[in-house]
Amino acid sequence: MDWGMRNRLARMFPGGENGNAVMLAVDHGYFMGPTHHLEDARATIAPLLPYADAVALTRGILRTSVPSTSATPVMLRVSGGATVLKEDLSHETITTAMRDAARLNVCGVALSVFVGAPHEHESLVNLSKLVDEGEEAGIPVMAITAVGKELEKRDARYLALACRVSAELGAHLVKTYYCDGFEKVVEGCPVPLVVAGGPKLDSDRAALELAHSAIAKGAHGIDMGRNIWQSDHPVAMLKALRAIVHEKATVAEAMDVLGSAKGRAPAAASARA
Ligand code: R5P
């Protein structure tokens, strides 16, 4: 792996090669439109940015809603082409060229792969081509094992297959879902895994439990959205998640972090400093 690729990965995974990352996912609008609490992306993202090891978003939201002075590494979503108005979300293509990703100084590019879906073949070919371009540019590629509207697909057998296929085709990282038997997904995937949160859970505690279980079973971090910015206390949630991902906090300890951070205004100093 060339220096540029290693450097970009290290910026997102501050603990080094075996480190973990807290990524903030705000890319939902690319197929869902103005998602609840992300209508004004700039306002939602601003207080959270200092506490994220990376922010996952599209070039449109990056250019319009993130200050160019931001020090937070960018994981750029480069696939799209379908919306929730259509039944088949798998009909995606690469929507952003690698040269634009390089121009935006990103630390990684991400695309969805739809294993078992009508456009499985296209999404896997997209991944392979993107890896070729990423290797050339020194930009890591994250495959997202998307399930479209079929949330029930999030079981260990399916996700292990989707993650392994993504790694075999050259993905440098894989984002997937937490599930029962998650250790099987980790075992079969030779590259680092980060987990999405999925739709908002019933409580902040449930989201912290999900993150804790994922890390305990071998995930290298989270790439979470709705369970952070749809929480009543997004900054406090992000701080509590950081405690789990970076400090091996228990759920009880993370709940304490959440509780004490709730009352406070977000600190001005960067958590990344
Ligand atoms: C889908 O819109 C994206 O891949 C999201 O980034 C991913 O699902 C993570 O966000 P959440 O935690 O809200 O599921």
Q: What is the DSSP string of 164-189?
A: HHHHHTT-SEEEEE--TTHHHHHHT-
Report residue 55: phi and psi, to 5°: -120, 130
Q: How confident is the model at residue 148 (pLDDT cuts 50, 70, 90)?
A: confident
Statement: residue 270 has pLDDT above 50: no
Could you state, in order of their start, the residue ranges of all structural domains in the chain?
Answer: 3-262
Q: Please list every protein residue whose CB sits less than 6 Å from any atom of ligand 1.
A: 25, 27-28, 56, 144, 196-198, 223-227
- What's the rounded mean pLDDT across residues 61-71? 97
Residue 1 has a pLDDT of 80
* DSSP codes, 58-110: -HHHHHHHS-TT--S-EEEE-EE---TTSS-TT--EE-S-HHHHHHTT-SEEE
Instruction: Quote the Cα angle for 173-242-101, to 5°.
Output: 40
Pocket test for ligand 1, best of 144, 153, 208 (most atoms within 8 A of CB): 144
Asked about 248 being catalytic, the answer comes back as no
**pTM for this predicted structure:** 0.94
231-240 pLDDT per residue, tens: 999 999 999 9
Pocket test for ligand 1, best of 22, 26, 27, 178 (most atoms within 8 A of CB): 27
Residue 149 has a pLDDT of 75
Q: How confident is the model at residue 15 (pLDDT cuts 50, 70, 90)?
A: confident
Residue 247: exposed, middle, or buried by beta-carbon count in 10 A (0-12, 13-18, 19+)? exposed
Q: Helix, strand, or coil here: 13?
A: coil
Residue 10 has a pLDDT of 96
Mean pLDDT over each residue of the chain, to the nearest integer: 94
Considering the candidates 175, 184, 200, 248, report the single residue annotated as catalytic: 175
Residue 273 has a pLDDT of 38
* C-alpha 164 chain-centroid distance: 18
Helices 204-216 and 234-247, axial angle in degrees (round to 10): 20
> Which residue, judged by its Cα, is nearest atom 6 of ligand 1?
25
Residue 165 has a pLDDT of 98
Cα 265 to middle of ligand 1, angstroms: 26
In this structure, are residues 207 and 179 in contact, taking their beta carbons and an 8 Å threshold?
no
Statement: residue 18 has pLDDT above 90: no
Instruction: Quote the Cα angle for 182-188-191, to 5°.
Output: 100
Return d(Cα 73, Cα 203) in angstroms, integer. Answer: 29
Return d(Cα 137, Cα 102) in angstroms, integer. Answer: 7
CATH classification number, 3-262, choose in 3.30.70.1350, 1.20.1560.10, 1.10.1040.10, 3.20.20.70: 3.20.20.70
Pocket test for ligand 1, best of 22, 23, 24, 28 (most atoms within 8 A of CB): 28
Any idea which of 30-44, 86-100, 145-159, 201-215 has the lowest mean pLDDT?
145-159
- What's the rounded mean pLDDT across residues 243-254? 97
Q: How confident is the model at residue 91 (pLDDT cuts 50, 70, 90)?
A: very high
Return d(Cα 59, Cα 71) in angstroms, integer. Answer: 16
Residue 269 has a pLDDT of 40
> Which residue, judged by its Cα, is nearest atom 2 of ligand 1?
28
* Tokens linked to 75: 């994981």
Q: How confident is the model at residue 152 (pLDDT cuts 50, 70, 90)?
A: confident
Cα 110 to middle of ligand 1, angstroms: 12
Q: How confident is the model at residue 271 (pLDDT cuts 50, 70, 90)?
A: low
Cα 196 to middle of ligand 1, angstroms: 6
Of the CA atoms within 13 Å of residue 127, those in its CB half-sphere come to 29
Cα 200 to middle of ligand 1, angstroms: 11
Q: How confident is the model at residue 154 (pLDDT cuts 50, 70, 90)?
A: confident
Atom of ligand 1 nearest to the CA of 28: 2
Return d(Cα 10, Cα 207) in angstroms, integer. Answer: 26
Return d(Cα 67, Cα 83) in angstroms, integer. Answer: 27
Cα 225 to middle of ligand 1, angstroms: 6
Residue type for 56, please?
Answer: A
Cα 176 to middle of ligand 1, angstroms: 9
187-202 pLDDT per residue, tens: 999 999 999 999 999 9
